[in-house]
Amino acid sequence: MEKPVVIYTDHIMNRTLCYNFAKGAGSPMCHINNFRDYNRTIATYGVLRGTFELIKKVNNFFYMDHGYFNQSKREFINNRTNVVSMDGYFRIVYNNFIHNGEGDYPNDRLKKLNLDIVDPNKLGNYIILSEPSETMKKIYNKPNWVNDTKKILKTYTDRQLIVHNKFSKESLDDLLKNAWAFVSLQSTAGFKAMLNGVPAYFTDHSLMNVANLKDIENPIIDYKIFNNLAYGQWTLDEISSGEAWESISK
């Protein structure tokens, strides 16, 4: 597989992930303001400061962002996201922003995470609607995602719908305790819901294979996708050492 040109910005998170990816893959780096060769495969972190606009111009890309499990700790304060540490996992996806969960990977990487997987909750009451950020609404062209999804859900269920986002006063952990299901566009919080025994549904086509909204009153959780997702996320040390690139380049 062609080694990508790693595109970095002036943001500390982007620069850190990109530097370590370039080191592990043996790839050249280029500041986003200086890149013009759109025929090259690129790798970058996040969708801000011009990275999303660049991703739309190239044919192939590797996208980095926070992982599915054991993410780095973050705080959401005054409509801003602050990363407290970078000791968690980061996903690396080829030609998409999130893995679809498909594959047949072993469970060795999943076991290393020491996740506490809760049995499915059969007694939940309401459905959590995880509202996408304004950035994600623009990227996926879903400005009315909440209302559009409510209309779809009302054809399949009459349960209470609770809209939640990362700035909501009530924590997601508390809401999940009595939730029947979790619905989002493409939020990795859906996998957190599954860990807590709450079935997750995604409306983005990349993740529709996880579960179908029409089955929301007869939910199931396919825990096998956790094995596959664990092979799509890496620590900073694994990225820097080249272990991540050796795996994903295959």
132-175 pLDDT, tens per residue? 999 999 999 999 999 999 999 999 999 999 999 988 989 999 99
- The pLDDT tens digits of the residues spanning 178-191 come to 999 999 999 999 99
User: Which tokens hold the place of 101?
Assistant: 């969960």
**Does residue 235 sit within a domain?**
yes
- State the residue for tokens 């664990």: 230
Of 90, 85, 31, the C-alpha closest to 62 is 90
Q: Identify the CATH number of the domain in which residue 212 sits.
A: 3.40.50
Residue 157 and residue 237 in one domain: no
User: Does 41 share its domain with 97?
Assistant: yes
Is-above-0.85 flag for pTM?
Answer: yes
Q: Quote the number of domains for the chain.
A: 2
Q: Give the HSE-up count for residue 148: Cα atoms under 13 Å, Cβ half-sphere.
A: 12
Query: Domain range spanning residue 137?
Result: 126-222
Whether residue 10 is contained in a domain is answered as: yes
| pLDDT for 250 beyond 90 | no
